[in-house]
Amino acid sequence: MTKACPVVCAVMLVIVAHQSLAKEFQNGIKWDTPPKVDPGQDAHDPPSDAIVLFDGTNLDAWNNGDQWTVEDGVATVGRGGISTKQEFGDCQLHIEWSSPDPPTGEGQGCGNSGVYIMGRYEVQVLDSYSSDTYHDGQAGAVYKQSPPAVNATRKPGEWNTYDIFWTCPRFDNSGKLVSPAYITVAHNGVLILNHFELKGETPFDRVPRYRAHPPKGPIVLQDHHNPVQFRNIWVREFKPAQGIRVREPHFRVGDKDIPVKYVQIEGKWLLKQVGDQQVEPSDEPIQLIITYDGDVSGYTGVNRMSGTLTDGDRLFGPIATTRRAGSPEAMQLEVDFTRSLSEANAFEVEGATLRLFAGDELLLVFDRAEE
Ligand code: MG
């Protein structure tokens, strides 16, 4: 008899109860209607719920704005940083910047400015098109914590956009960090930081640490003695969708509600039979995780099954397994095995035996492996 152990050693099967009526999952939460927002003509336009911080006319929304110059719709770094008069917590920030053309200086001295969220956490602004520097200090870096995933900086004199998605850190009443800050940034539309967890503030000469601060803070643009230009700055305060749980999750079937019940069978199994053909027990147990939600009274009844095959690292389609070299019989068994997993729509567990079915047809039989 030929071994029929597939290359796949872990199998996840998800089984949901068959119903003659369509079954719909309902999460039991009554959501508020999301407010309507006019997004504007293109991605650079402030959406209708944005707070415009600089529209090209003046820096009245900023402290120290009178120390910078505003000309032709563009603000240029002057003496000292500027900080928004309004403070923000979780937010989406759009900002456009351009480094001096022709470039002057090198490394950190070439087109350096910065966007400090909450006045403390810097996303670097730098001419990383012309000049090299340490990577966690280049344009798009969370300063001294992470480089951008890629360098999407445009030439000096051209306009760069940052779209920053910010989740502020949370502190308890005693000042202890409850959850860190997270940042996602698209630079010129290119994702460069994806839900990066900040280690704390972003100083030049200290270890990054969190220091408790109020839930909102200003946006600060840095003066690093380079005449970097800015335009089109707007921010949206972010509040997630609101809702309240009005009941527990359930399934809706016709006019009936069925509570969600969850069964998970997890274990190692040795393949014993494919169809009606006995196979020699493999020496490599198969990890099977069967999850089942719905009406557990249908546990051994007719179910619908969909399957995902993994070996822990890779994901296979049920049929897309690599066949082992072997006899035509062995290969056929593997084909039958994977096909059976994709077609199985019911299972039963009896003692140490697991059987998978398609309707009434027995597809696969396993014995529980010794742990
Ligand atoms: Mg800087």
Spatial distance between the Cα atoms of 49 and 89, rounded to a whole number of angstroms: 15
In the reported structure, the alpha carbon of residue 203 is separated from the centroid of ligand 1 by a whole-number distance in angstroms of 10
> What are φ and ψ of residue 11, in 5° steps?
-135, 130
Task: Please report the pLDDT score of residue 263 as a whole number.
Answer: 52
In the reported structure, the alpha carbon of residue 294 is separated from the centroid of ligand 1 by a whole-number distance in angstroms of 55
In the reported structure, the alpha carbon of residue 335 is separated from the centroid of ligand 1 by a whole-number distance in angstroms of 59
How many domains does the chain fold into?
A: 2
Task: Please report the pLDDT score of residue 1 as a whole number.
Answer: 31
Spatial distance between the Cα atoms of 49 and 103, rounded to a whole number of angstroms: 37
In the reported structure, the alpha carbon of residue 109 is separated from the centroid of ligand 1 by a whole-number distance in angstroms of 9
Task: Please report the pLDDT score of residue 346 as a whole number.
Answer: 63
Establish whether the linkage from the previous residue to 102 is cis, with ω within 30° of 0. yes
Task: Please report the pLDDT score of residue 17 as a whole number.
Answer: 38
Domain boundary among 172, 202, 237: 237
- DSSP per-residue string spanning 343-362: H--EEEEETTEEEEEETTEE
In the reported structure, the alpha carbon of residue 140 is separated from the centroid of ligand 1 by a whole-number distance in angstroms of 10
Residue bearing tokens 């098109």: 129
Residue 200's identity, in one-letter code, is G
Determine contact, residues 334/353, Cβ cutoff 8 Å.
Answer: no
- 10-residue mean pLDDT series, the chain (371 residues): 33 41 81 94 93 98 98 98 98 98 93 97 97 96 98 97 98 97 98 98 96 98 97 97 91 73 63 79 61 41 32 33 47 65 66 78 82 68
Neighbours of 22 (CB within 10 A): 8
Task: Please report the pLDDT score of residue 184 as a whole number.
Answer: 98
Question: In terms of residue numbers, what domain contains 88?
Answer: 35-237
Domain boundary among 175, 209, 237: 237
In the reported structure, the alpha carbon of residue 217 is separated from the centroid of ligand 1 by a whole-number distance in angstroms of 18
Q: How far apart are the first and last CA of the chain?
A: 25
In the reported structure, the alpha carbon of residue 111 is separated from the centroid of ligand 1 by a whole-number distance in angstroms of 9
Same domain, 181 and 259: no
Is position 3 within any domain?
no
Is position 170 within any domain?
yes
Same domain, 62 and 181: yes
SS3 for 341?
A: helix
Task: Please report the pLDDT score of residue 339 as a whole number.
Answer: 66
In the reported structure, the alpha carbon of residue 330 is separated from the centroid of ligand 1 by a whole-number distance in angstroms of 63
In the reported structure, the alpha carbon of residue 177 is separated from the centroid of ligand 1 by a whole-number distance in angstroms of 26
SS3 content of the chain, % helix, strand, coil (to 5): 10, 40, 50
Determine contact, residues 254/21, Cβ cutoff 8 Å.
Answer: yes
In the reported structure, the alpha carbon of residue 123 is separated from the centroid of ligand 1 by a whole-number distance in angstroms of 7
Strand partners, 96: 161, 231
Same domain, 211 and 354: no
Is position 2 within any domain?
no
Spatial distance between the Cα atoms of 224 and 111, rounded to a whole number of angstroms: 8
Is position 1 within any domain?
no
In the reported structure, the alpha carbon of residue 131 is separated from the centroid of ligand 1 by a whole-number distance in angstroms of 14
In the reported structure, the alpha carbon of residue 92 is separated from the centroid of ligand 1 by a whole-number distance in angstroms of 20
Domain boundary among 237, 265, 299: 237
In the reported structure, the alpha carbon of residue 113 is separated from the centroid of ligand 1 by a whole-number distance in angstroms of 4
